[in-house]
Amino acid sequence: MSRIYYTKPSITELEVRYATDAAANGWGDQCYQYIQRFEKAFEKHLDVKHAIATSSCTGALHMGMAALGIGPGDEVIMADTNWIATASPIVNLGAKPVFVDILPDSWCIDPTKAEAAITPRTKAIVAVHLYGNLCDMDALLAIGERHGIPIIEDAAEAIGSEYHGKLAGSMGRFGAFSFHGTKTLTTGEGGMFVTSDSELYEHVLALSNHGRMRGQTKQFWPDMVGFKYKMSNIQAAIGCAQMERIHDLIARKRQIFETYRQQISSIPGIRMNPEPEGTINGAWMPTIVFEPETGITWEILQAAFAKENADARVFFWPLSGLSMFEPVHENVHSWSIPVSAINLPSYHDITESELDRICNVIRRVAGKKHG
């Protein structure tokens, strides 16, 4: 029985050809050719003014937060349900992540809880579009406007997600994307910083290149202490090929999500990624949550998937449950949902028979509990 992986990239001859060209010819005065091409393609796709290719989404967040002046003594509000990559730049800048609860349906930050957590030390709110689900951006942007606080979009998992005509990552002060090998669009490792704020862009551009301003004429003369978060030309070449296929890559993810939704929606006691009116879920990671009364846990699900030789990825644990942070038990949804949730396999080349195998596992587990 073949193994069903939870995710892997879609790589074709086009990516191989571009990467080979970059490896053979992308040096000297051509060393930024694919990087600049990738950035321009991403700006056009997202309809933003500026994009900077980075070594990771974490690096994009780190530089963007640094450019906003976030530092020691400051607070940044974010959802408790997230991967640590969203919190680590905050900590590394000497600031404090303030964890608030998620909404029970979208699993994204609760705007009401976010606003209630604002203090004089709050410097930003991070909106993470979890698993391709969309944050309530209208509410968050209104909060930011009322309090003079920038809204940062962590769109690492939200390529293809759309909120009332605007793509995820294009609405906040800046957005950050991931191109890790698990993502809908990949460069192996890598990320992208995006913004339509030209002043912020110039600051982050300098930070990304050891603090050298674009207009600096002195050779090896940094204007500030910066970072080294640049993407390689070879990685960007793969990204350029993926951008030429971006609509097909997103469409395939959506197709897999729809197949799951059609097959699973009739099983009692299950919720999946939501898609409220006016939104499009990019469907990076189809996820199921069993209602507590079913008694079905992630351990039961993982064991059942293992018998089918299939991957099943656990839902993100609450960050405040990790040893390096103080627990915030009042974040009840962040703490309770992971107990009975699982991410489903969704790589681009998954077959219909493999999707059937996954759905049959879910039916068997649900049937045992209801039998």
Two structure tokens written together for 161: 């997600």
Q: What is the pLDDT of residues 169-181, one digit of tens each?
A: 999 999 999 999 9
Burial class (CB in 10 A: 0-12, 13-18, 19+), 69: exposed
The number of residues making up the chain comes to: 371
Closest by CA to 287, choosing from 166, 181, 157, is 157
151-154/122-128 β-pairing = parallel
Contacts of 45 (CB under 8 A, 6+ apart): 167, 243, 246
Whether residue 165 has pLDDT greater than 90: yes
Domain with CATH 3.40.640.10 in the chain: 13-244
Q: What is the DSSP string of 112-127?
A: HHHHHT--TTEEEEEE
- The three-class DSSP label of residue 348 is coil
DSSP 8-class letter at 223: S
> Confidence class of residue 349 from pLDDT cuts 50, 70 and 90?
very high
Are 213 and 226 contacting, i.e. CB atoms less than 8 angstroms apart? no
Two structure tokens written together for 247: 């609509």
> Confidence class of residue 369 from pLDDT cuts 50, 70 and 90?
low
Domain with CATH 3.90.1150.10 in the chain: 246-370
Least confidently predicted of 63-72, 210-219, 244-253, 325-334: 210-219
Contacts of 220 (CB under 8 A, 6+ apart): none
Burial class (CB in 10 A: 0-12, 13-18, 19+), 340: buried
> Confidence class of residue 371 from pLDDT cuts 50, 70 and 90?
very low
Q: What is the pLDDT of residues 286-345, one digit of tens each?
A: 999 999 999 999 999 999 999 999 999 999 999 999 999 999 999 999 999 999 999 999
Would residue 132 be called left, alpha or beta, if left means φ above 0 and alpha means ψ between -120 and 50 degrees? left
Q: Which residues are catalytic?
A: 183
Phi, psi at 142, each rounded to 5°: -65, -40
As a whole number, mean pLDDT of residues 43-52 equals 98
Q: How far apart are CA 150 and CA 49, in angstroms?
A: 18
Q: In what order do the strands lie in the sheet with 166-167?
A: 166-167, 162-163, 279-280
Whether residue 217 has pLDDT greater than 80: yes
Mean of the per-residue pLDDT values of the chain:
96
Q: What is the pLDDT of residues 4-39, one digit of tens each?
A: 999 999 999 999 999 999 999 999 999 999 999 999
> According to the model, what pLDDT value does residue 216 have?
87
Closest by CA to 76, choosing from 35, 114, 108, is 114
Q: What is the pLDDT of residues 100-118, one digit of tens each?
A: 999 999 999 999 999 999 9
HSE of 208, CA atoms in CB hemisphere, 13 A: 27
The helix (run of H) or strand (run of E) holding residue 289 is strand 287-290
R_g of the chain, CA atoms, integer Å: 21
CATH architecture for the domain at 13-244: 3-Layer(aba) Sandwich (3.40)
Q: How far apart are CA 322 and CA 13, in angstroms?
A: 42
What superfamily does domain 246-370 belong to in CATH?
Answer: Aspartate Aminotransferase, domain 1 (3.90.1150.10)
Q: What is the pLDDT of residues 221-262, one digit of tens each?
A: 999 999 999 999 999 999 999 999 999 999 999 999 999 999
- The three-class DSSP label of residue 216 is coil
> According to the model, what pLDDT value does residue 1 have?
83
The pTM assigned to this predicted structure is: 0.96
Distance from CA of residue 280 to its chain's centroid?
15
Q: How far apart are CA 160 and CA 266, in angstroms?
A: 26
As a whole number, mean pLDDT of residues 264-287 equals 95
Q: What is the DSSP string of 10-67?
A: ---HHHHHHHHHHHHH--GGGTTHHHHHHHHHHHHHHT-SEEEEES-HHHHHHHHHHH
Whether residue 126 has pLDDT greater than 70: yes
> According to the model, what pLDDT value does residue 215 have?
84
Are 97 and 87 contacting, i.e. CB atoms less than 8 angstroms apart? yes
As a whole number, mean pLDDT of residues 184-192 equals 98
As a whole number, mean pLDDT of residues 31-52 equals 98
